[in-house]
Amino acid sequence: MKSNRHMGNVSRIVVKIGTSSLMHSNGKLNLQAIDQLSYTLTGLVNEGKQVILVSSGAIGAGMGQLGLTTRPEEIPKQQALAAIGQSELMTVYQQRFATYGQKISQVLLTHDVLDYPQSREYVHNTIEQLLNWGIIPVVNENDTVAVDELDHRTTFGDNDQLSAIVAVRSHADLLIMLSDIDGFYTGNPHKDRHAQLIKELHQVTDDSLKRAGGAGTVFGTGGMATKLKAAANILNHNQMMVLANGANPSIIFNIMNGEEIGTLFIAENNNEESDDDRIIK
């Protein structure tokens, strides 16, 4: 594929992988995808890049462990499944990354932790230290801690937006979002056979939000809508995001080579710093 995107200056990358890319449709973990992801991210660290992985899959892995084929609606059941699946997921990641000599760590977050300045600073310091040590933080939402107190804004179940928040807060150069689809289309390709891939988007408008439908599989949660909200956050901070197919996570190497893959979300004035950026820095 033609190489015409400029990724040469990208040194800090957040990669988000969705459940649908980590699981087979029969409920088993997709070990090949996890292995390829571990190999690829280790390759990037070996090149001197800093990598944060935001991985979904806890509830899906928990469902697989218990042999459930449909996601229960009750929140405590989903939380319990996340508790079961998260440890399985980390065990597999730990094994696969270790094969390539890469150390990883687990960082479980809730939105409110990132909203409060004090706890946000603690998280920031931890992630910075891990990256300085060359260790990949593996981030997921802390699904067992869904608090309903009024002064908490803990929400449950959306890693698309969490990955954008992590990318913004850590001043990442690029967010790569891997899903079960090649990118953002003019309509849901599973329902609209005329849907066309949008290669580049500078702005998330009401029209683009109308084109974004729900999840494609029993495992996916937010569908395209939460990915677009994540992209809007990234664009507001003058950062870049690529939405691509995670069937073969080594596609990340092609993205880093500047190949025209998936949908690139990039502000038209990408080289200029936004006011917001200057305030946060």
Ligand X SMILES: N[C@@H](CCC(=O)OP(=O)(O)O)C(=O)O
Ligand Y SMILES: Nc1ncnc2c1ncn2[C@@H]1O[C@H](COP(=O)(O)OP(=O)(O)O)[C@@H](O)[C@H]1O
In the annotated binding site, the residues are 16, 56, 143, 159, 179-180, 221-227
Least distance from C-beta 17 to ligand X, angstroms? 8
Look at residue 216 and give the partner it binds from ligand X, ligand Y, none, a contact being a CB closer than 5 to 8 Å depending on partner kind.
ligand Y
Contacts 24+ apart (CB under 8 A), 26-30: 27/60, 27/63, 27/64, 27/67, 27/68, 27/69, 28/64, 29/57, 29/61, 29/64, 29/88, 29/89, 29/92
Residues 67-96 that bind ligand X (CB under 6 A): 82
Binder of ligand Y out of 212, 232, 235, 266 (CB under 6 A): 212
Binding residue positions for ATP = 16, 179-180, 221-227
Residues 57-86 that bind ligand Y (CB under 6 A): none
CB 253 within 8 A of CB 43: yes
Q: What 3-state DSSP class applies to 130?
A: helix
CB 227 within 8 A of CB 212: yes
> What is the spatial distance between Cα 99 and Cα 90, in angstroms, rounded to a whole number?
14
Residues 148-207 that bind ligand Y (CB under 6 A): 179-181, 184-185, 187-190
220 binds ligand Y (CB under 6 A): yes
Binder of ligand X out of 141, 164, 166, 168 (CB under 6 A): 141
User: What are the residues facing 244 on neighbouring strands?
Assistant: 178
Which spans of this chain sit near ligand Y (rule: CB under 6 A)? 18-21, 179-181, 184-185, 187-190, 211-213, 215-217, 220-224
